Each structure stands twice: as C-alpha cells, then as structure tokens.
Amino acid sequence: METRSSSKEQSIAESFADEADSLAKKWVQDVIKGDIAFGSLSREIFYSQHAHGYMAAIKAMLELVVRCDFANDDNTLNTYKKELVLGCGLRDMVHLLRDDSFECVRRDPRHHVITLIQVLSSNDKRFVRYVHIVGGLVAIRKIAETKGLHYDLMCTSWNAMAQLLNTGLHA
C-alpha cells in the first residue's frame, strides 16, 4: 500500500514539474517577445493563478538571467536586476527561501532561487548588498545549517554562502 501511494505521489510531483517547465518556457518566450516584463515574473511567486506558478516563475527568471549571462548582455541583466530590486521581487524570493514547508523535492524551488541570486550577484557588489539588506544571506545561512535537506539544496546554499561572503572556494 505504501509503495502504491509513494508511486502516486511521485507521479503527481513529476506532473507538477512538467507543467511548471512548460509554463516557464512560455513565460521565457513572452519576456523575450516583450509581451510581459521580467519583473512581473517575480509577482507570480506568490500571486500566480497557476498551482505551479511559483516554480515556473523561478525557472523562467533563472533561464532568462543565465541566457543574458552567457551572452554577456550586461544591459539586459542590469535591467532585470533593477526590476527585481525596485519591484520587490528580490524580497519575495527571500520570503520563499524562508518557507521550509516544501514536502517534495520536486516542488522545492529554493535551490533555483539561490542559484538565481548567485548569478545576479556575480561581480556585482551592489546587488550583494541588496541581498544582505532584504535578509537573503540570513535565509540562505539558515538553509545551509538545516540538517536533513536534499543534496541539491544543501550544496547550493553552502556554495552561495561562500560566494556572497567571499570566503572559501565557490563556483
């Protein structure tokens, strides 16, 4: 009986992840086309009408930021940072980091949020200060020091601590 329910839960989690990926791809294309603003994605974290909207928003933002980073498109990247800071998206992401009620690894967006913060903070001391101001470092430290978390989240949080505090080896 227990295997049957865990199999069903895994199937639901996979369906959730697939729907989030599909929605994230759509939002990435909408931002690229100019149909929606990057800053509006951060509002989807808490106010989405989709059950999987928070995960899709984080994945879409991460995809867009990574594309800019690889393309060395600093103007767009700086615009994204400005929208996140002024539109309170960074604050919303930090609130999400403080939420430790994610019961399923596939539904836990925190390692994606931390990765997004790491990419945005790379070589930008001003953005790192904003992360400190809104309590991001405290939230990431709490995650890093929590025992029993899944491997991705634990490694990402320790890596981010090293990067943001500029101590030790980090990516």
How does pLDDT run across 28-59, given as a tens digit for each residue? 999 999 999 998 898 888 888 877 888 889 99
> For the ranges 75-89, 96-110, 146-160, which has the lowest average pLDDT?
96-110
The answer to whether residue 171 is domain-embedded is: no
CATH number at residue 27: 1.25.10.10
Give 58-75 pLDDT, tens digit per residue.
999 999 999 998 888 899
Does the pLDDT of residue 136 top 90, yes or no? yes
**Domain limits at 12?**
2-165
DSSP state of 105: G
Question: Does residue 141 form part of some domain?
Answer: yes
Q: pTM (2 decimals)?
A: 0.82
Per cent of the chain over pLDDT 70 is 87
Answer whether residue 159 is part of any domain: yes
Domain count, the chain: 1
Quick one: three-class SS letters along 25-87?
HHHHHHHHHCCCCHHHHHHHHHHCCCCCHHHHHHHHHHHHHHHHHHCCCHHHHHHHHHHHHHC
